[in-house]
Structure 1
Amino acid sequence: EETARHYGVKYGLNDVDEILALPELKGVVIASTPNMHYSHAKSALQRGLHVLIEKPMTITASESKELLELANANDLHFVISCPWHYTRHTVECKQLLQSGKLGKIKMISILMTNFSNGLYKGKEWSKAAANASKQHVPDPYQTPGISSYSDPKVAGGGHIYTQSSHILAYLGFITGSLPKEVFARFDNDGLPVDVYNTLSIMMNDGVLVSVATNGATMRTERNFEVRVYGTEGMLFQELWKGTLEHHNVDGEVIKYPDLAEDEIYPIDAPANNFVDLIIGKANNGSPASLGHVAMQAIDAACLSAKSSKNIIVEKN
């Protein structure tokens, strides 16, 4: 009730069933810890409610598949919260890849680093998150608990769930392809959850993808660098810096205007898109099917890291 008063919300409830039973409700945002995403989203979809779900979508790909099927069967809007899908650079990147202007895409290289190691160590949000000061809001808002990122039973895992879920959904977004095979290595750095990851992925159209991520970079630098290599051109995108370059086969370099600081990570874009979807004013800018694609790759990566084997991803 205190939180509801603070934000001017009509209802102050702490029971999921009570929330989902509100008569005027059209859609819900699932922003609980990952271990509760599946049950909360399933309950909402079964009640005929549209859903915006945080990433990682679920703990397993079988859960995300079931949710997708439920949403499709009930003709419901289902959005995965990935703000980078809404930047003009990422949309341009998608259009360039899928238009054929780069020729046949042969290889994609992705590097993502972030300072999230403190969260994996179970430190308080204010002391652990790289951008905690920018995202601080006053009480009664509750920041994530110390187990939200450090306990595999709650979070699913470490960096592979927290940040690689961004990368893998983004990969599906720009290519329109699906992961076919995954080989992965994790380094937990002595923690219960992973901190460093490398993934070698072959997509279903033969594109080779290398992904390197770590959650223990210095506070002075973080990266989300994407390099796409085609037979007729190359594309270089740095999502954290808001830059995009297209190098064509003739040696011409096309530099797109840099994104403004507030455009680099449009944190409100998924929620705004979700509302517009429900009232019929927009298309789905980040379909939950991309969250399922990410979960398929995460499932395969976790199995590969445990078995030291190349894993074939299920086709559905």
Structure 2
Amino acid sequence: MGSDITGLHHVGHVVADLAGALDLYRRLGFAVPPPAYPAMAPREGAAPEPFGAVNAHADFARDFVELASPVRAEARLPDGATLVPLHAPPDVLPVLLDRIATTSANLAVCLDRFEGAHILMFSSADVDATADRLAAAGVRHGGVHTVHRPVRPDLVEAVRYLEVDGERPGLVAEGRVGVVADLDPAIQAVRVPEHPNGAVALVEAVLCAPAAGLDDLAARYTRYLDVEPVHDGPALVFPLGTARLVLLADHRLGELLPGERPVASPALAAYAVGVRDSAAVARHLRAHGVPFEVAGSGDVFVSAATALGVAVVFRQVG
């Protein structure tokens, strides 16, 4: 019987300045719409103010890349950002506020560690079955939650997910790791833009760790994914449908991406998106003043030093 995990759902890049990160991602060639900020009035009669956490997505047909940031009073709102006042029944509101506070606090913990990729979410065809399997395997998690996201005025998406617990609820050593129900293709089709860089999918996440801890990390992800890794050069690879998770010892990252070193360990050091034409990506980056490198594999990549703490790889597919 195969794993209930169907692929990568999204990676999340946690940033201090969402407005600046949006500008970077647009120069990288991603079409990312302005974010909507959750908002509440600080006191009766006052205007709603942003609070909690905010995100924006570069969407593809089956997955996406997320930009996420804890809301901070001093941070500037990106151009075009909107405020969405929070409404919930009285019996639901305290639970919702608690989840928002936990998410915001966890993002702040991640950001204090370093700016970069801290979120790794996998897709499941049956997230309830995944929750049961993880519990049976001794993996602690917070249970399956449901949140609702507006897609357009007449369409709301129900997102069902779980987060793996480490020393903090919802956080393990490398960040926020969890499982989300497969995206609804009909709903996702409403969101997916034509990205100027030709990106069509999230195809890889690269997780680095000290060499001495790599076997333990692999054992942990074997439990999470119910998939055995295979060796591919210096890496351990978990095949996940059309995507893959790559585990790599810190000192060997430069063998895949010349000049790269993880900014911390363990950490998501890189992610890759599939593109139609690597040469077109290179032309786009050059035209927008973004420095890039070319790996021995032919992949174009933007270094972590340029891309706010995570290397962004463009891999020609199809």
**What TM-score do the two structures reach when normalised by structure 1?**
0.24
**Structure ranking higher in helix proportion:** 1
**What TM-score do the two structures reach when normalised by structure 2?**
0.24
**Structure ranking higher in strand proportion:** 2
